Amino acid sequence: MSTLPSENSPEDVNNRSFWMPGNYQRTVKRTEDAFQACNDIVACFQERARVERQYAQQLSEWSNKWKPVVDSSPLYGSLLKAWQCFLSSADRLASLHASICRSLVSEDGDRVRTWQKDTFHKKLFGGFKESQDIDTGFARAQKPWAKRLKKLDKVRRAYHKVSRKEQAAREREAHAQGNPDVAIDKQKKIQEERELAQQEAEKVRARYEKVLEEVNRYAPRYMEEMESIFDQSQDEERKRIVFLKQAFLSIHKHLDITNNESVRAVYNELHNTLMAIDEQEDLRWWKNTHGPGMPTDWPHFQEWTPEKKTKKGKKAGEKKGTIERGVMIGGVRVRALYDYVGQETDELSFKAGEEFLKIEDEDDQGWCRGMKDGGWEGLYPANYVEVV
């Protein structure tokens, strides 16, 4: 279990300082850390790519599952088209997310792998050439400094040792002077020991100060050499940061579907289809296709003729029309309002919006005769067209 961090003493901070011997290893290790980070980045977004692929598959499966249900649903007209548009939009989005998956793997992943291979050069016995160069430079710059620090630490400890010895001699002298039980000769001897300890402390102190002066005099050169190597390391790290920033931006570009024109087109089309739901048009279509607006053969008197069998009302109407309707010279251009599929061979089939010629007027059964551009003639419901 982790523990709360304690307050760092000045000595601990100094021991972790970059300037202390060996502490440059954290900077050297950045190279290996960056190499491992590249592996983690590739693995991370390969997993995201699998998420995108699975989502694309789920969208396609959902669309394929519901298409037959929607196509055979009781809805009709613009409402049916709106429902179908949800499914077609899902198909288009599935293609988009599949392309995101491919981009993350083949474009972004390969880009990081290629850069990693070109940037980090592995050595035969482990490690990387880049980290070894930085490590060698730091070690060379720090070696003279480490020797001086070691010498300084040695004289510091010696000085502290003689200082403790001097302090003990002073305490013994003070105790003897205030104690009548200590003989004069003994007091004199204690005094001489204190004087010798004091002289030795002054001598060691002078040597300590001299070594410290040498260390401080060398410090600027040491700092300059270390900073030079550090700047080289920083430059390499800067290049790594810049590259990974661009790699992340590329990944963001592929994942950010909010700015993708294809996604906008999908949802714009879906929105327009939904807004195009027209209850009046749908109700009119139903009325004309399945309701009172349908053409019908109302009951009428049919003369018996022995020569032929009586045909359906529409045919009788056609026969009667030979007397009551005249052929229109040139015809009148009309446009279909709705789809119509002919139920018999003498009926004309057409799609909504299609144009053709009306060549005979409407009979009393509500049928007209028309002719398409290809010369095909047939009957059609008069209320399914409008004059152009």
| 121-146 per-position pLDDT tens digit | 998 888 899 999 999 999 999 999 99
Task: Note the pLDDT tens digit of each residue in 200-222.
Answer: 999 999 999 999 999 999 999 99
d(CA 211, CA 156): 9
> For residue 105, is pLDDT > 50?
yes
Q: For residue 74, what are its two tokens?
A: 């009781």
Pairing relationship of beta strands 385-387 and 377-381 according to DSSP bridges: unpaired
Report the C-alpha gap between 388 and 374 in whole angstroms.
Answer: 19
pLDDT interval class at 9 (50, 70, 90): low
The CATH homologous superfamily of the domain defined by 331-387: SH3 Domains (2.30.30.40)
Q: How many CB atoms lie within 10 A of CB 210?
A: 11
And the tokens for 22? 């060996």
* Whole-number pLDDT of residue 10: 58
End-to-end CA distance of the chain: 85
What integer pLDDT is reported at residue 146 of this predicted model?
94
Domain ranges of the chain: 15-293, 331-387
* DSSP structure string for 122-161: B-TTSSBHHHHHHHHHHHHHHHHHHHHHHHHHHHHHHHHH
| Inter-CA distances, 283 with 288, 312, 366, Å | 9, 29, 21
Longest CA span, the chain: 172
Give the count of alpha carbons within 13 A of 347, CB side only.
14
User: Cα(282)–Cα(274) distance, rounded to whole angstroms?
Assistant: 13
Q: Which fold has domain 15-293?
A: Substrate Binding Domain Of Dnak; Chain:A; Domain 2 (1.20.1270)
Residues 255-271: tens digit of each pLDDT = 998 888 888 899 999 99
Number of DSSP helices (H) and strands (E) in the chain, helices first: 9, 5
Q: Sort residue 126 into left (φ over 0), alpha (ψ -120 to 50) or beta.
A: left
Q: Is pLDDT of 319 > 70? A: no
Q: What is the pLDDT confidence band of residue 199, given thresholds at 50, 70 and 90?
A: very high
